[in-house]
Chains A and B, each alone.
Chain A
Amino acid sequence: MNAITPVGVNASAFLDRGDVTGNAQRRKAADFLRHAGLPRAGVEAWKYTSLRALADVPFTAAPHAVDGGAVDTLLAEVETISGLGAGASRVVFVNGSFDAGRSRLPKGVRISTLAAGTLPDDGIDPAGDVTTALNTILARDGLDLVVPAGVDGGCLLLVSIGQVDAAGPVSFHPRHRVVVEKGARLALLDASVGRGQYLHNPLYDITVADGGYLSHARIQAEGKQAVHLAVSHARVAAGGVYDSFTLTLGASLSRHEVHAGLTQAGARVHVNGAQLLSGHQHGDLTSVITHAAPDCVSRQTVKNVLSDHARGVFQGKILVERIAQKTDGYQMNQALLLSDGAEIDAKPELEIYADDVKCSHGATVGALDDDQLFYLRSRGIPGAAARSILIRAFLHDVVDQIDDQRLKDSLNLAVEAWWTREVA
């Protein structure tokens, strides 16, 4: 493709807030964002999601002191939807800053947070995409977690709470790093909730070493006025497994961009997800899975349940490099449209340069199957209950693919909570 970058919407509101002097990564990110701008329709990587609206919101840095009572209410909400209550290890971030008082750190793993203003030299290209660039310029805090070799880190809850009072819209850009060393294990449940108008722009830098195992489930249940722009950069080494799942429930506008690299033979990655949207919500799940070594496996199933005027976007690319012979890649995208105003835009993409590979993808879009509804109703199940059964079965199919039982249970709870609310 020719190197003409379409110029997006002026991002100076964000650029002005970042102090990029003295840090080469931040400078590079700022240069990129200045040139590319905030994407609007027409940029291929953002074909169906525009950030034009962001430019008009006067976001400021998030305050540290917030209403403690409101935060506790939101934290209780996370405990309810995740089922991980008082006993669970958890790391809590409020408006993007580490909250030591509400956190309960697990044993056996090394945990710290980024010192204010520093940026780890993590090898992530600050100018690779807009979401990463934005985070690079404005990151102030974040989790830094290492599961040492051979250790089972158990189950950890990472909570993000966005609590904004009447003072005006804020944005926070935490930068989390998770390293699972050789033969180590971790189940990470990551939940985002909030109230008010804010932009949550987290970056996840994930490394799974030889034979390591990381199950990472995200519940995005941000407040109704929130904008959620997340990006994950995952690298998986020989025999390592990264099992990821994104459940999108909240925010008015959200996008999770996953860049997963299979860097050594025998690595395995799952980039699954479900987007359950209603009203005028817009949810985008975009992923690039790069097979950069032979004998790797990738799996992706993404389901969308869209009602009212919601819009679901899925862009999934599997890139198989020349060296990556014997690749096994599979991708499935399905959307259930529950009303005539809903819209799905899907772009499943295969880019393949090796010949001895097994890669396939599938996509289906449609309403609930009349035959299936009839089958249930003919057996005496009322219409509403029949619909409920079919919708939840549709979702069960993907949630069931999460390996870790604890995370699977949490996600099922979150789906149930969503469904109860939808019906109500």
Chain B
Amino acid sequence: MPAVAETRKTVETLGQNTYKWGFETDIEMDIAPKGLNEDTIRLISSRKKEPEWLLEWRLKAYRSWLEMREPTWAKVHHPPIDYQDVHYYAAPRKKPGPKSLDEVDPELLRTYEKLGIPLHEQAMLAGVEVPEGQEARAPIAVDAVFDSVSVATTFRKTLQEAGVIFCPISEAVQEHPELVRKYLGSVVPVTDNFYAALNAAVFTDGSFVFVPKGVRCPMELSTYFRINARNTGQFERTLIVVEDGASVSYLEGCTAPMRDENQLHAAVVELVAMEDASIKYSTVQNWYPGDENGRGGIYNFVTKRGACRGARSKISWTQVETGSAITWKYPSCILQGEGSVGEFYSVAVTNNHQQADTGTKMIHIGRNTRSTIIAKTISAGQSDSTYRGLVRMMPKASGSRNFTQCDSLLIGDRCGAHTVPYIESRNMSARVEHEATTSKISEDQLFYCRQRGLSEEDAVGLIVNGFCKDVLKELPMEFAVEAQKLLQISLEGSVG
């Protein structure tokens, strides 16, 4: 078929220039020497002026990490990682107290501008409602993470008035040590897995969110991550705690500059939802995927997990994954509270030599818990994309339900799409349903669109968008626009 042949050709010609966010900021860095040992951890801890218990916690994680082996079950291939060849700490040099954006390094601001971060003016999207009695420019609060240290946090006052804490986790350690100590590592224990243990040992920063009882967070919370300096790993740690009856929507967006050497990113995200609480966690991930020959790109080995501790609590993960050379990521829900709800909506796009092994885990512990999994996988070029998901019904999860749908779309005949669901049920009255399909864009659909005057590219765009619609509609409005754009950028070369 000429259409397919053409598509293949274009996939091949898709060059590295298409990575729009590839640039590097030249800012003086405060960098720890390469390598990982107890001294590195002590250095990080002392730079962060951390209390003794946190240092002990890190060292415990490091010691158990030494005993662990890298997981090998994922369907990804990469040369062995030399964990001693990484900088574990890099902080932009701080000027004393940047109280306003004017005081922030202009180079940094330019970076944000190129990224299109809605940090200040951009944050005010037209038509977004402003809660009464609050600053007139308050739709989104942004905590921008520039490498390892949060540089700017906006709208904190508005949030403070509502009782919401939203700050870098390093700050939370200083200002709310009792909260951090109570919840840190309570969802993802330090010994959980190889990368989570590594993160616990060396994490430098991340976000902390605390929404107290009964509070509906007045705005969407958003963090933009960037990996910037050469050879620095990024070990973010995010902790979100939502108390009884409270709710929050959290957005996470990622871009990284282009570079040749592979970079390691091992983040940990922990969510805690108490009774009647709800957390919506949305991610658009667009880190550098490597060039068309598979050189460079980010290794994204992330542990994300949410605990629905209270009855009727709800955690919803939505992700659009277009970047990274390798993605290893399974946002999960532990459905402990009776009647709690877990959701996972995912679009994963791989092109060129990208590899993605991503999915979710839904662990049903409590009675009448429910989970929904909708995963859309699109593979193009010579990439491999795997959905790997676990649904487990524990003996006490009576009356629980799961529905899973995984659809894969292949573009070109040199890519791979794989589906590996694990279904484990130990309760008779729990019901699990799973369905998966794999297909390409059908000639009929293309013909129908072309016949009505759409160009091939528009037709494919339309079909792909329709394929992903179930997931994209779950994204907050601000993100949905960006996600659609990203889908187009990621695939535009491959669809003519």
Residues of A at the B interface (CB closer than 8 Å) are 1-2, 4, 44, 47, 322, 325, 335, 337-340, 342-367
16 residue pairs of the A-B complex, CB under 8 angstroms, read A1-B72, A322-B413, A325-B413, A339-B428, A340-B428, A342-B428, A345-B422, A345-B423, A349-B419, A350-B420, A351-B418, A352-B416, A360-B435, A360-B437, A363-B423, A365-B423
B440 at the interface (CB under 8 A from A): yes
A68 to chain B, nearest CB (A): 45
CB pair A364 B424 closer than 8 Å? no
| Chain B 68-91 interface residues, beta-carbon cutoff 8 Å to A | 69-70, 72-75, 77
B417 at the interface (CB under 8 A from A): yes
Which one of A4, A350, A356 has the highest number of Cβ atoms from chain B below 10 Å of its Cβ?
A350
A400 to B472, CA, bound (A): 42
Contact pattern, B 418-455, Cβ under 8 Å of A = 1, otherwise 0: 11111111111111111111111000000000000000
B283 at the interface (CB under 8 A from A): no
Partner of A350, one of B69, B418, B440: B418
Partner of A352, one of B77, B418, B428, B429: B418
Write out the residue numbers on chain B whose beta carbons fall within 8 Å of the beta carbon of A44: 73
B411 at the interface (CB under 8 A from A): yes
Write out the residue numbers on chain A whose beta carbons fall within 8 Å of the beta carbon of B431: 364-367
A-B contacts besides A343-B424, A353-B413, A357-B440, 15 pairs, CB < 8 Å? A1-B73, A47-B422, A342-B428, A349-B420, A350-B417, A350-B436, A351-B416, A352-B408, A352-B416, A354-B410, A358-B439, A364-B432, A364-B433, A365-B430, A366-B431
Given A1-B72, A1-B75, A362 contacting B435 (CB threshold 8 A): yes
| Chain B contact patch, size range | 35 or more
A347 to B421, CA, bound (A): 6
Write out the residue numbers on chain A whose beta carbons fall within 8 Å of the beta carbon of B75: 1
Given A322-B414, A325-B413, A346-B423, A366 contacting B436 (CB threshold 8 A): no
Write out the residue numbers on chain A whose beta carbons fall within 8 Å of the beta carbon of B408: 350, 352
From B422, which residue of chain A is reached at the shortest CB distance? A347
CB pair B439 A363 closer than 8 Å? no
A345 to B391, CA, bound (A): 10
B423 to chain A, nearest CB (A): 4
Write out the residue numbers on chain A whose beta carbons fall within 8 Å of the beta carbon of B248: none
B206 at the interface (CB under 8 A from A): no
B75 to chain A, nearest CB (A): 7
B82 to chain A, nearest CB (A): 15
CB pair B72 A2 closer than 8 Å? yes
A352 to B414, CA, bound (A): 10
Given A357-B439, A358-B439, A360-B437, A343 contacting B426 (CB threshold 8 A): yes
Given A354-B413, A355-B411, A340 contacting B395 (CB threshold 8 A): yes
A357 to B412, CA, bound (A): 12
Shortest 4 CB-CB contacts between residues of A and residues of B: A355-B410, A366-B431, A365-B432, A363-B434
From B420, which residue of chain A is reached at the shortest CB distance? A349
Write out the residue numbers on chain A whose beta carbons fall within 8 Å of the beta carbon of B437: 359-360
B271 at the interface (CB under 8 A from A): no
Which one of A47, A338, A342, A359 has the highest number of Cβ atoms from chain B below 10 Å of its Cβ?
A359
B415 at the interface (CB under 8 A from A): yes
A355 to B442, CA, bound (A): 11
A342 to B429, CA, bound (A): 11
From B390, which residue of chain A is reached at the shortest CB distance? A347
A62 to B362, CA, bound (A): 47
From B402, which residue of chain A is reached at the shortest CB distance? A365
CB pair A360 B424 closer than 8 Å? no
Given A1-B75, A340-B427, A365-B425, A359 contacting B420 (CB threshold 8 A): no
Which one of B4, B69, B77, B437 has the highest number of Cβ atoms from chain A below 10 Å of its Cβ?
B437
From B435, which residue of chain A is reached at the shortest CB distance? A362
Given A347-B421, A347-B423, A360 contacting B436 (CB threshold 8 A): yes
CB pair A337 B419 closer than 8 Å? no
Which one of A363, A365, A367 has the highest number of Cβ atoms from chain B below 10 Å of its Cβ?
A365
From A306, which residue of chain B is reached at the shortest CB distance? B428
A152 to B186, CA, bound (A): 66
A153 to B223, CA, bound (A): 70
Partner of B434, one of A339, A364, A367: A364
Given A337-B428, A355-B412, A360 contacting B422 (CB threshold 8 A): no
Residues of B at the A interface (CB closer than 8 Å) are 4, 69-70, 72-75, 77, 393, 395, 408, 410-440
CB pair A352 B438 closer than 8 Å? yes
B301 to chain A, nearest CB (A): 14
A357 to B413, CA, bound (A): 10
Write out the residue numbers on chain A whose beta carbons fall within 8 Å of the beta carbon of B419: 348-350, 361
Write out the residue numbers on chain A whose beta carbons fall within 8 Å of the beta carbon of B423: 344-348, 363, 365
Write out the residue numbers on chain B whose beta carbons fall within 8 Å of the beta carbon of A353: 413, 415-416
CB pair A356 B436 closer than 8 Å? no
A349 to B75, CA, bound (A): 12
CB pair B428 A350 closer than 8 Å? no
From B424, which residue of chain A is reached at the shortest CB distance? A345
Partner of A348, one of B395, B411, B421, B424: B421
CB pair B436 A362 closer than 8 Å? yes
From A329, which residue of chain B is reached at the shortest CB distance? B438
From B421, which residue of chain A is reached at the shortest CB distance? A348
CB pair B438 A360 closer than 8 Å? yes
Write out the residue numbers on chain A whose beta carbons fall within 8 Å of the beta carbon of B77: 1
B375 to chain A, nearest CB (A): 13
A356 to B414, CA, bound (A): 11
CB pair A363 B420 closer than 8 Å? no
Given A348-B421, A354-B413, A363 contacting B432 (CB threshold 8 A): yes
Write out the residue numbers on chain B whose beta carbons fall within 8 Å of the beta carbon of A2: 70, 72
Write out the residue numbers on chain B whose beta carbons fall within 8 Å of the beta carbon of A335: 425
Write out the residue numbers on chain A whose beta carbons fall within 8 Å of the beta carbon of B425: 335, 337, 343-344, 365
CB pair B430 A347 closer than 8 Å? no
Write out the residue numbers on chain A whose beta carbons fall within 8 Å of the beta carbon of B412: 355
CB pair A367 B429 closer than 8 Å? yes
CB pair A338 B416 closer than 8 Å? no
A294 to chain B, nearest CB (A): 11
A362 to chain B, nearest CB (A): 5
Write out the residue numbers on chain A whose beta carbons fall within 8 Å of the beta carbon of B74: 1
B346 to chain A, nearest CB (A): 17
A43 to chain B, nearest CB (A): 10
A346 to B69, CA, bound (A): 26
From B432, which residue of chain A is reached at the shortest CB distance? A365
Which one of B70, B423, B432, B439 has the highest number of Cβ atoms from chain A below 10 Å of its Cβ?
B423
From A347, which residue of chain B is reached at the shortest CB distance? B422
CB pair A355 B440 closer than 8 Å? yes
A373 to chain B, nearest CB (A): 13
Partner of B438, one of A344, A359, A363: A359
Write out the residue numbers on chain B whose beta carbons fall within 8 Å of the beta carbon of A338: 428
Given A325-B413, A338-B428, A362-B435, A356 contacting B422 (CB threshold 8 A): no
Write out the residue numbers on chain B whose beta carbons fall within 8 Å of the beta carbon of A363: 421, 423, 432-435
A47 to B422, CA, bound (A): 10
CB pair A361 B435 closer than 8 Å? yes
A47 to B73, CA, bound (A): 11
Write out the residue numbers on chain B whose beta carbons fall within 8 Å of the beta carbon of A339: 428
A347 to B424, CA, bound (A): 9
A91 to chain B, nearest CB (A): 38
Which one of B73, B77, B419 has the highest number of Cβ atoms from chain A below 10 Å of its Cβ?
B419
Write out the residue numbers on chain B whose beta carbons fall within 8 Å of the beta carbon of A362: 433-436
Write out the residue numbers on chain B whose beta carbons fall within 8 Å of the beta carbon of A340: 395, 427-428
B364 to chain A, nearest CB (A): 12
CB pair A348 B434 closer than 8 Å? yes
A360 to B408, CA, bound (A): 10
CB pair A355 B415 closer than 8 Å? yes
CB pair A4 B72 closer than 8 Å? yes
From A349, which residue of chain B is reached at the shortest CB distance? B420
Write out the residue numbers on chain A whose beta carbons fall within 8 Å of the beta carbon of B430: 365-366
A202 to chain B, nearest CB (A): 29
From A336, which residue of chain B is reached at the shortest CB distance? B428
From A320, which residue of chain B is reached at the shortest CB distance? B438
A192 to chain B, nearest CB (A): 28
A358 to B422, CA, bound (A): 22
